[in-house]
Amino acid sequence: MRRGRRPRWMIKIASERMEILFQRAEEEFALHPERSNRYVEMSRKIATKYNLKMPSSWRGRFCRNCNHFLKPGFNSQVRLKDSMVNIKCMECGEIMRRPYIKEKKAKRRNKIESRTFQEGTDA
């Protein structure tokens, strides 16, 4: 084992624990929101300790400023504006912006393909 590197089994366990903590945060939010915030905090600490990326499915579900778990409609607002997804944390007021250009391009491509397909069958 080289200095500074962790073995694969440690990284695998850490990523599994992060996933479990986020699932628990989702389940506990209705009754104990402070507990779900703590789970997010613990998951972020694991990620920094083992130098891991957050799972893509959970990346937009917490505030990077105040470490609160975000549930749209309860403590966060989701808005679409200028090809951006704006997620606003209602706890601290932080606004996180994510582009959705890929989705727009795919939609446009499907629209064009459907037109060419319809024109091809008519003739």
**Hey, is 14 helix, strand or coil?**
helix
- Specify the pLDDT at position 55: 84
> Which conformational region is residue 73 in: left (phi greater than 0), alpha (psi within -120 to 50 degrees), or beta?
left
- Specify the pLDDT at position 120: 63
- Specify the pLDDT at position 122: 55
- Specify the pLDDT at position 101: 82
- Specify the pLDDT at position 121: 62
Q: pTM for this structure?
A: 0.75
- Specify the pLDDT at position 113: 85
Q: Chain-centre distance of CA 104, in angstroms?
A: 19
Tell me the pLDDT tens digit for each residue of 51-78: 999 888 888 899 999 989 999 999 999 9
pLDDT under 50: residue ranges of the chain: none
Cα 68 to Cα 36: distance, rounded to the nearest angstrom = 8
End-to-end CA distance of the chain: 66
- Specify the pLDDT at position 6: 86
Cα 92 to Cα 66: distance, rounded to the nearest angstrom = 7
